[in-house]
A and B are shown apart, each in its own frame.
Chain A
Amino acid sequence: MTLLDVARGPALEFAFAVFAIGVAWRLLSVLLLPWATERSAKRPGTPSRAMGAIGLFVRHLWPAGPFRRNALFITLNSYVFHLGLAIVVFGLAQHIVFLQNAFGVSWPSLPSGVVYVVAVITLATLAAALAHRLTSPVLRLLSTFNDYMSWFVTAAPVATGLLAVSHLWAPYETLLAIHILSVALLLAWFPFGKLMHSFLVFLTRSETGAFYSRRGVEI
């Protein structure tokens, strides 16, 4: 068994199992806690819980007026990063072939040249996010091992993927194996770290939305 076989086979399977079970477990462990019963009288004429939740979700897609200027860098950087990552993961022909083998669904790919450029931009946003975290006194105080680890496991697949397609430094097969192993690391770390925010954001924004909207407040 070559390194690539291990990476593609048991390593990825194990990582995916950890990801799926871990995410389900963490979400259930929150969702199965008691839910507070709301007994106060809702302000007349305010939206339903669902509409309140959706409203705040949408409003929080972009920073509110007074904060816009200061939040602009981090917001744009985050959007470019998230979109870039999605384009790289779901747009590269090789990824689509892989996903088709694994899950049986496929879609048209983007030209690889475009995806490479996007990958470089994505890596740059990650570098910017790290630089911001390391230089801002507020972020330095807040940051823990988990934040840096979550950054690392996200940046690694992008960097190793670029390295693999560049055919530099080592044989393609080895680089590909390393790339796949870094994806396995990302999946396995996912439920343990900050990456969980990609699921939790739906809960937190919705609940805050419902909380404020019944009071007649839109924030």
Chain B
Amino acid sequence: MDATINLDAAVRTFLANTEEHLSSYLEACVHCGQCADACHFYQASGDPRHTPAYKLFPIVKAYRRQKWPLSWLGAPKVTAADLQEWEELLFDTCTMCGRCTIICPMGIDIATIVSGARQAFAAAGLGPADLVAAAENARDHGSPLGVTPEKFKDRIEWIADEHEVDIPLDKAKADILLTISSIELMKYPDSVAAMAKLLNHAGVSWTFSTKGYEATNFGYFAGRPEIAKAATKRLVDAAEAIGAKTMVIPECGHAYGVMRWSAANMLGRKLPFQVLHISEFMAQLKREGRLKLKPVAEPITYHDPCQISRRGGCTKEARYLLDGFATDFREMTPTADQNWCCGGGGGVQAIARAAELRYKVFKIKMDQVEATGASTMISSCSNCRLTMDESKAHWKWDKGIGSLVELVADNLIEDAPATGKPTA
């Protein structure tokens, strides 16, 4: 056995997390194979190993051996070779998008099991090196891209100057703590300026904090719960320190998923503030009549980030915002909660060796967009956007890829003062 793979730790970690729902999921699969059809990786590669249910095999094996009520019948042992083979399947070929759940006749939520399984693999010392490095960077430097608090401050000041927008930093008290994804900070600074512009326009009291700014959570992807928890705690502490009533999550799918749906469970207590994705925040402004926008006539389609829509619940928010604003809005087929993933969620974006597969997956999206005739596809996740921009470059695709928050901010009618009661 490979001495570097700690098999016992893998099995122990997975079993420690085996709660009731996970066990039912593992036991109920009837091996019908229908989930293959739902998974963009199988769709793109045609490789039966990319069938969602197959990705869980070593985990089922571990479970059978230890916790299964029938283990006394003799169940095969998980081997180091199993773990090595499945490392790629669990990390590179699952974006935890939840699409296979829609078709599974048993209603098994594969994405939940994959997240538990990744923790087991990480405990064994497995996981793609670049993904693990991103997680460790987040732990040691506060951001997967190594954006330390000093760099964050510099960058924010630069964006404020460059875009001539006020960006409050480290205010002692504020109603809203705004957070960022370092993908935006480094690659899409316009998004950061757009959010600042909108919050200023709303007339709310808000701030960034150098104590907690990074919304992405690579510890979660890499199966490192201690890093995931530390990153979550940093943000929660920062929000509590300023007495925030709301934490606004930027255009980042999993950042929203982790903070909105997992943070309280990770920390073992309810959060004392509400968590809003920026699209929810904008929709709220619009509902209150405080968002006047210049209509956009260009044919536009919207890519639903899995963690914002199917697993996040904000599917309607984006449509509500675009309604009457993007006058030639076109839905893809399928769309909304049934949308195809971009191919880079769940940390797959950070795994260099998965690039070829991501490009193939993006073909599905390209065909979808082309069928709508839209010239631009916007999204509300910078991780999707980065994945799509890279794939677009690979295929030399001619359609535009944009961001919802930037589109809104760019067409904001500023002279119409934001009236009505302030949010949050």
A residues in contact (CB < 8 Å) with B? 25-26, 29-31, 33-41, 43, 46, 56-57, 60, 63-67, 70-71, 74-75, 78, 136-144, 147, 192, 194, 196-197, 200-201, 203-209, 211-212, 215-219
Contact = CB atoms under 8 A, between A and B. Distances in A.
Contact of A64 (B23, B29, B103): B103
Given A39-B268, A67-B38, A207-B24, 4 more contacts: A67-B103, A138-B36, A201-B28, A211-B112
21 contacts: A33-B20, A36-B21, A39-B270, A40-B263, A40-B264, A41-B270, A65-B334, A67-B38, A71-B103, A78-B105, A138-B36, A139-B32, A140-B48, A141-B49, A142-B31, A147-B31, A192-B73, A197-B29, A204-B25, A208-B108, A209-B107
A219 B310 contact: yes
B161 interface: no
A190 B64 CA distance: 17
Interface string B44-56: 0000110101100
Interface in B106-141: 106-109, 112
B20 A36 contact: yes
Interface of B: 18-21, 23-25, 27-34, 36-38, 42, 48-49, 51, 53-54, 69-70, 73, 98, 101-109, 112, 260-265, 268-271, 274-275, 309-315, 333-334, 337-338
A38 B274 CA distance: 16
A99 B386 CA distance: 64
A7 B35 CA distance: 40
B223 to A, nearest CB: 18
Which of A36, A194, A205, A208: most chain B CB closer than 10 A? A208
Interface of chain A: mostly helix, strand, loop or mixed: helix
Nearest to A213: B313
B20 A31 contact: yes
B311 A215 contact: yes
A204 B28 contact: yes
B16 to A, nearest CB: 10
Contact of B106 (A29, A205, A215): A205
Given A39-B264, A142-B51, A30 B23 contact: yes
Contact of B33 (A34, A63, A139, A196): A139
A55 to B, nearest CB: 11
Nearest to B263: A40
B313 A66 contact: no
Which of B70, B107, B309: most chain A CB closer than 10 A? B107
